[in-house]
Amino acid sequence: MTTALPESDRAAYRAALVDLARADTRIWCLDSDMGGLEKQFQAELPDQYVDVGIAEANLMSIAAALASTGILPFANTMAAFASARALEQVKLDIAYHGLPVRIVATHAGFSAAHYGPTHHAQSDLAAMRTLPNMTVLTPADAYETVRLVTAAAYLPGPVYLRLGRNPIEPVYAGDDAVGTDLTIGKAVELRAGDDVTIVAAGALPVRFALEAADDLAAGGVGARVLNLHTIKPLDVAALVAAAEQTAGIVTVEDHSVLGGVGGAVAEVLAEHRPVPVRRVGIADSFCARPGTHTEQLAAAGVSTAHVVAAALSISPLCTSIWD
């Protein structure tokens, strides 16, 4: 049976949260004036809802305290605030105590687009993945969001769920999706290929990776595409296998080129299987001009074309293409 997909991952998440909370009174929604949760959640489940105000530090500390009593709080804010303004509360009150708070961070990467750096979150993966005990999830579409939220609801420790803002194309379509193994910590191979591997995380990066794989295939290059929906714990086995079986790795992310997906992959491969790595990510700069999400990413170095160029720059491929 196929159900209609919501238009954005954050809308899908909200619907999934209400479903989870209906079935389990321990699941609470903590709001920090995100807008809409009062209608979608509070109106139906007021005893499992708290608005802490526009106060993200407070949000994280209160979530930690609630979690210490057996409640399973979903703390809702934007990635920019979860990963910077309230990072100390996340580090100490949540991660240090290993408490089962689900930090749901929307508007990640450049998805807040024309609002600019005040609402861009380009360092959140770097911050969150270096916190001990933290699980870090970056779903690629609405379907994957629902599956991962459901899988994460009962993890024993804290979770950072990285969501965007905008409507997104589905990666998984129709009945095919149901059979996909979506296990936290296990990368999903979206395309088979033995020449080069593209490792992507998040909605637009995964789309760019798939488009790049099509372009490369047209040129006779077989690109494997791994959807890295879990940044921590990292699927080391899939990455090492890709390094062994293909000429090198291209990483793609809606995040700074420093410290995120590219950083994590490079760290692992440098130790386990050194191969060429090309990082497609946001250049180390702020984006100060308005534009769409896609336009801003392209200006910062993240697009299908950048992925193709990076893949071709891995030397054995250059040889095969130009010979």
What is d(CA 82, CA 135) in angstroms, rounded to the nearest whole number?
A: 14
Nearest 5°: the CA angle 262, 243, 168 is 45
Q: Which stretch binds other proteins (CB under 8 A): 9-17, 61-69, 153-161, 250-258?
A: 61-69
Is residue 159 within 8 Å of residue 102, measured between CB atoms?
A: yes
Contact call for residue 223 and other proteins (CB under 8 A):
no
The tokens describing 258, both together, are 């420093």
Q: Which stretch binds other proteins (CB under 8 A): 53-61, 155-163, 261-269, 280-288?
A: 53-61
Q: Which stretch binds other proteins (CB under 8 A): 44-52, 203-211, 212-220, 291-299?
A: 44-52
Q: Please choose, from the candidates 14, 101, 11, the residue with its C-alpha nearest in 3D space to the C-alpha of residue 59.
A: 101
Question: Which is closer to other proteins, CB of 59 or CB of 312?
Answer: 59
- What are the helix (H) ranges across the chain? 9-23, 37, 56-68, 79-80, 87-89, 124-129, 142-152, 174-178, 203-218, 236-245, 261-272, 293-300, 304-313, 315-322
Q: Which stretch binds other proteins (CB under 8 A): 58-66, 110-118, 261-269, 270-278?
A: 58-66
Question: Which is closer to other proteins, CB of 96 or CB of 115?
Answer: 96
Least distance between other proteins and beta carbon 308 (Å):
46
What is d(CA 41, CA 44) in angstroms, rounded to the nearest whole number?
A: 6
Ranges within 67-86 binding other proteins (CB under 8 A) = 68-69, 71
Contact pattern for other proteins over residues 86 through 115, marking x by CB under 8 A: --xx--xx--xx------------------
Least distance between other proteins and beta carbon 93 (Å):
6
Contact call for residue 156 and other proteins (CB under 8 A):
no
What is d(CA 137, CA 152) in angstroms, rounded to the nearest whole number?
A: 9
Question: Which is closer to other proteins, CB of 66 or CB of 153?
Answer: 66
Q: Is 236 exposed, middle or buried (0-12, 13-18, 19+ CB in 10 A)?
A: middle
Query: Which of 4, 23, 35, 47: binder of other proteins (CB under 8 A)?
Result: 47
The tokens describing 112, both together, are 């807040």
User: Which positions touch other proteins (CB under 8 A)?
Assistant: 47, 50, 52-53, 55, 57-58, 61-66, 68-69, 71, 88-89, 92-93, 96-97
